[in-house]
Amino acid sequence: MSETISWEAPQWLNKMYLEDVLKKYLQDDTVRLQGMELKPATAKGENYASVMTRIKVSYKTAGDSKIQTMPMIMKCSYENDPFVANIMNGYDVYNTEMKMYEQVLPKIAKILKQSGDNEKIFATTFKVDYERCSIIFEDLAATNYGLADRLKGLDKDHTLVVLKKLAKFHAAAAVLNERMDGALESFQRGLFNRHTRGLGCMFEHFTETCANFAKTCPDLGVYYYDKLMKLQSHVVEYGIKATSKWNEADFYTLCHGDLWINNMLMQYRNSKSSQQKLENLLFVDFQFSNWSSPAVDLYYFFNTSLEPELQMDVHFLAEMVQFYHSILSEMLKKFKYNGHVPTLHELWVQLEERKFLALITTLTNQAVATVDECDDADFHCLVDDTDRAKKFRLDCYRNKRHQNIIKQILPYFDRCGLLDVQ
């Protein structure tokens, strides 16, 4: 097992391979590659489950002797780390994302377009390579898309745009599932699922780390330590229950499954101005997409990606749920969805029944999402039980922003009964 994972471009990613990609994408057999540049596309702490490579190629065609350039991003499996690959294979993340980009997302885009909605929700795909477990898609950075500040979180304006796009995605996916006779329900490998518990130790480790923090925190104390330690061995079971389909009357759809701030790319108007205005945002990283309740995406987003004061404002969150529901119901009717369109009250019932997701996402995913830059931020530090991994998790809980949220939100979760073993 390697102690660290560093970027390394696959040996097969060469000029011949990329020339073939361009020929097929441009539908021009006269494409001739002139050069290529490869470099890592993400820094440590920005991506934990795959290798991202930024590609820039220069090429000529018979119809144009001028050298042109094409920026691309390639995402592929951790082929140089069998330990990580084994866990990810259990979640079928690579096949899931390849199917999403090749078979599902284009059909969702078509449903939106047929209804007169040309809003773009995800990146254009150049190539899906099942043999090499890789996807090449447009490099959105070339059109001024970039990451928002995960350490700061998103404000209300950003949140509204995210929820509007999420509601459209959820509505179109529900309609597509109808048209495909339930085919999307085969996506069953989200972060919590009944097929594998490979990442389960991550949630258990962070629950213990939070318990240790609570024990030494004057605002919390041994009361919360005892509750969290008793809860630790049950968190995976409760997470699976919260994401499973167990009430046929509920509204289900294809969830993104990993909806946090670093899986969204932002494009701003007047990007050089101090008064930036969000022009557009796109969702990326569909490797944990799964058929479940919208609660999966809503709780994950709310508890990893908002400004702290918004995350802790129950009135704001209620407003956002109502906004999401208004778009969802509008789009379902517009798409002529044949199933039951959930009322706002019915959506709230789903959220309340699955509220454990808010707890475990806060204890684990938010801790990771808001950790300061550090050299230990890689996949191994999430799941290993080594001194290095323990130090990383401790660093996550030394973050003042996360500490302040935990001090406020643990008592709230306790009053909701979420810290009790059922």
pLDDT in tens, 157-177: 999 999 999 999 999 999 999
> How many angstroms separate the Cα of 26 from the Cα of each of 110, 399, 406?
20, 47, 51
**Cα radius of gyration (the chain):** 22
* Range 89-123+146-416 classified under CATH 3.90.1200: yes
Mean per-residue pLDDT over the chain, rounded: 92
| Burial group, residue 17, by CB count within 10 angstroms (0-12, 13-18, 19+) | middle
Q: Options 3.30.360, 3.30.1120, 1.10.260, 3.30.70; which CATH number does 15-78 get?
A: 3.30.360
**Cα end-to-end distance, the chain, whole Å:** 37
| pLDDT tens sequence across 75-115 | 987 656 788 888 988 999 999 999 999 999 999 999 999 99
Contact call for residues 63 and 85 (beta carbons, < 8 A):
no
pLDDT of residue 390: 95
Domain spans of the chain, in order of start: 15-78, 89-123+146-416
* Residue whose structure tokens are 């796009």: 165
DSSP structure class, residue 169:
H
Contact call for residues 381 and 191 (beta carbons, < 8 A):
no
Contact call for residues 261 and 159 (beta carbons, < 8 A):
no
Q: Amino acid identity, residue 265?
A: L
Please state, for a pLDDT cut of 70, what percent of the chain lies above it: 93
| pLDDT tens sequence across 300-349 | 999 999 999 999 999 999 999 999 999 999 999 999 999 999 999 999 99
pLDDT of residue 291: 98
Q: In degrees, to the nearest 5, what angle opens at C-alpha 193 toward C-alphas 190 and 198?
A: 90
| pLDDT tens sequence across 13-51 | 999 999 999 999 999 999 999 999 999 887 654 545 567
| pLDDT tens sequence across 196-230 | 999 999 999 999 999 999 999 999 999 999 999 99
Residue 369 token pair: 């999402």
pLDDT of residue 9: 79
Predicted structure pTM score: 0.91
Report how far Cα 126 is from the mean position of its chain's Cα atoms: 21
pLDDT of residue 90: 94
| pLDDT tens sequence across 5-20 | 456 778 899 999 999 9
